[in-house]
Amino acid sequence: MPDKTQAEITYSQLEHTSMFKRPILEAWSPAKLIAALLNALEPSGYKLDGVEANVQVPKLDEYSIVFRRTTPAFPPRSLTLGLGKVIVTADNLDWTEAEQFISGYSAAINVIREVGGAEIKSQQLVAALHIQLKDRPRKDVTAPLHSPVASGLLDEETDFSGVILLREKAIVLIDASAGLANGLFVRITRRYPPEASFEKQAETLRNDEQRIFDVLGLEGIL
């Protein structure tokens, strides 16, 4: 078995979207929602000075209230509540923070259900990773993913071979990172039913990341 390639995730972004069954128009009360959500998110570092109201928009589905974490401000965390969905993003979220992150997000979703009257229709989790390879060219790392038939699509030797895998409710993309000279860009997308818990989604994501490291022969901290 060849030696593992040392690798480091230098940047990551997590985005979770909960789509509502119907717009929360009837229960939409910005002042009440903001107060309740700030109360739920305050333990996670969210304050009033991090709240933005995007109301001067041409379409109702673009109307939103954005909550940005201010303590600390970096790495960025945000929750965006619209009439038809809620989106949470987190940059460079460490797995040691997973339990606390899930707790805060769960509290916010409960507020949106209770105060906003939202019913969740579906969920989507997207994780984007930039992985720096330290002791092996990325072309060699992804070479096992490349078939001889695919190499015939170009008239010269390829510089890099990536892959896109699709199934009904999941997509995995492995590409060259545009920001790292010898890095990979990996994006994992999974769709979930409304009853799927955040804990289960986190467990699946952790397994996805570990599987990708194992298949590519990478070694490093997830």
pLDDT given for residue 115 in this prediction: 95
In this structure, is the dihedral angle defined by the CA atoms of residues 83, 85, 91 and 93, taken in order, positive or negative?
A: positive
> Which of helix, strand or coil describes residue 215?
helix
For the chain, which ranges sit under pLDDT 70?
A: 1-2
* DSSP state letters, 54-98: E---SSGGG-EEEEEE-TT-SS-EEEEEESSEEEEEEES--GGGH
Q: Which amino acid is at 78?
A: S
The whole-angstrom distance between residue 9's C-alpha and the CA centroid of its chain comes to 14
Task: Summarize pLDDT for 11-21 with one digit per residue, the tens.
Answer: 999 999 999 99
Percent of the chain with pLDDT over 90: 86
pLDDT given for residue 90 in this prediction: 98
pLDDT given for residue 1 in this prediction: 53
Task: Summarize pLDDT for 122-139 with one digit per residue, the tens.
Answer: 999 999 999 999 999 999
